[in-house]
Amino acid sequence: MARGDRAHPRRRRLLVPGLVLLLVVALVAAGGVAWRTGLLDGWLDRDRVVPEPAAIAPPAGVEEPELTPPDPVAEPATGAPGGAAGADAAAVRRAVAATLRDPRLGPHVLATVASLEGDDPPLLDLAEGDQRATPASTTKLVTSTAALLALGPDQTFETSVVRQGRQVVLVGGGDPFLERGPQEADGSAHPYPDRADLADLAARTADALDVGGARARAPRVRLGFDDSLFSGPAVNPTWESDYVSAGEVSPTSALWVDEGRDADGVGVADPAAEAASAFADALAREGVRVLGAPRRTTVTDPDAAAAGQRLASVSSAPVGEIVERLLEVSDNDAAEVLLRQVGLATAGEGSIEAGRAGVRDLLGQAGVRLRGSVLYDGSGLSRDGLLDPEVLVDVLRLASSPVRPDLRAAVTGLPVAGFSGSLADRLAQGPQAAFGRVRAKTGTLSGVSSLAGVALDLDGTPLVFVLMADRIGEVDTLDAIAALDRAAASLGACACG
């Protein structure tokens, strides 16, 4: 069984036509009622004003007949789902307690369930032994929220080409999703979000090099590449030795293509050199001859763009969209890049240590107490990390707060039970009413399983939950995952309000 629950975008991709069909099936199954994921989305966007149909003017030239509205069958409901009373602690405990006592979860199980709004004490706080556990990929919730705090949802990262002396230099800006070429080029659907690609950058560079305007003479250049934006070890020293060789994660780089993989999807030892080689090929297709092999260099003039030396650039998707994708498919590589970006934003240094310090500081400033938690990476692949479940509760409450719309992607990016991402084929053994009502980040390592997210119960009450077990026997792995799935599903199927 894979150590991490990450799915590479090229291997796990929701095709747009398939998603549309899935939505149609869900609508039919619900008897014409709006898709259940919209219940939680509606709660998150409860301040949005939607005009009444009668307030929308008809198109020009169309006469609207006079209609008399019928008497209402019942008074419309008002206020937030769940009402002021919130959830009942006894009902929450009845829903999940028996499942969480499953011996296959091992001797160390932590569970916290709380109201999503406010800072009321937990409705359920189950702890056996240490109040902290190995978080696995639920760490990505913390990293993503910190990245949104540091950068904002609209920040993008540029990959550029600058002229330096007699060479042109490909400069990495820390775009986690930079690709070789448009996804449509091989006939596959384009994954969300839109990605910058080297083919586009090469075409722009060729245009900039064509001084005469007709490309009568093919330009010849020497190519350098600069990946110096990130510093420190490219491979986290707390990871197991075979994570990179097994393809769980690539060496983290400010310049890479296809998340540090070659054209066949196989990880490479030097992602920046692979990106430069791919860019040289793209330049050749545009009629630009690259002399010799690309060489690693550093752009010495930080004001090269201002001095008119920048030839071309492409921009990444906004951070908010990167976060949504990262959480949906549990992308280890993107999480590690965002950790370095946090370090750059907070300390001017794109290292692991600067990123870790930035995460701690940003969460503390936002009112999230770490309660002795310690994280060593951005993805959760490290087994040395320990996280108190109430930290994840506080992070989810912060990200869903109506006064922090800039953090909303940390919730909207959560996979939906039975429908999307790493929960598309999960929670099937629990109550079917939970499908579409539970959104959660999964966390899976050998001997470790966790879920952290939001459930909307049958009464319309939003609940935040964190379920963690980190001493699972090897033979019990799948049964333990199923047990946590049933517990989360029971919250979505509970009349706990």
**Domain edges within the chain:** 89-151+321-492, 158-317
Whole-angstrom Cα distance, residue 224 to residue 257? 16
What would the mean pLDDT of 152-167 be, rounded to a whole number?
Answer: 95
Q: Which of 49-63, 156-170, 230-244 has the lowest mean pLDDT?
A: 49-63
Please, are residues 253 and 260 in contact by the beta-carbon 8 Å criterion?
A: yes
- The verdict on whether omega for the bond into residue 271 sits within 30 degrees of 0, i.e. cis, is no
- pLDDT tens digits, one per residue of 94-130: 999 999 999 999 999 999 999 998 788 999 999 866 7
Whole-angstrom Cα distance, residue 340 to residue 343? 5
- pLDDT tens digits, one per residue of 210-228: 855 655 567 899 999 999 9
| pLDDT value at residue 497 | 80
Q: Which of 56-60, 229-233, 489-493 has the lowest mean pLDDT?
A: 56-60
- pLDDT tens digits, one per residue of 280-334: 999 999 999 999 999 999 997 766 655 668 999 999 999 999 999 999 999 999 9
Any alpha helices (H) in 152-259, and if so which ranges? 198-209
| pLDDT value at residue 490 | 95
| pLDDT value at residue 83 | 37
Q: Strands of 165-232 (E only): list them.
A: 167-171, 220-226
| pLDDT value at residue 128 | 65
| pLDDT value at residue 430 | 77
Q: Which residue has the higher pLDDT, 276 or 54?
A: 276
pLDDT band at 18 (very low <50, low <70, confident <90, very high): very low
Percent of the chain with pLDDT over 70: 78
**Quick one: which H or E segment has residue 347?**
helix 332-347
CA 391 to chain centre: 18
pLDDT band at 428 (very low <50, low <70, confident <90, very high): confident
Q: Domain 89-151+321-492, what fold? A: Beta-lactamase (3.40.710)
pTM for the model: 0.84
| pLDDT value at residue 12 | 38
Q: Which residue has the higher pLDDT, 52 or 404?
A: 404
| pLDDT value at residue 123 | 94
| pLDDT value at residue 302 | 64
Whole-angstrom Cα distance, residue 497 to residue 296? 60
- Helix, strand, coil percentages, rounded to 5, for the chain: 35, 15, 50
Instruction: Return the closest-CA partner of residue 325 out of 339, 335, 340, 337.
Output: 335
Beta bridge partners of 27: none
Q: Strands of 287-378 (E only): list them.
A: 289-290, 295-296, 310-315
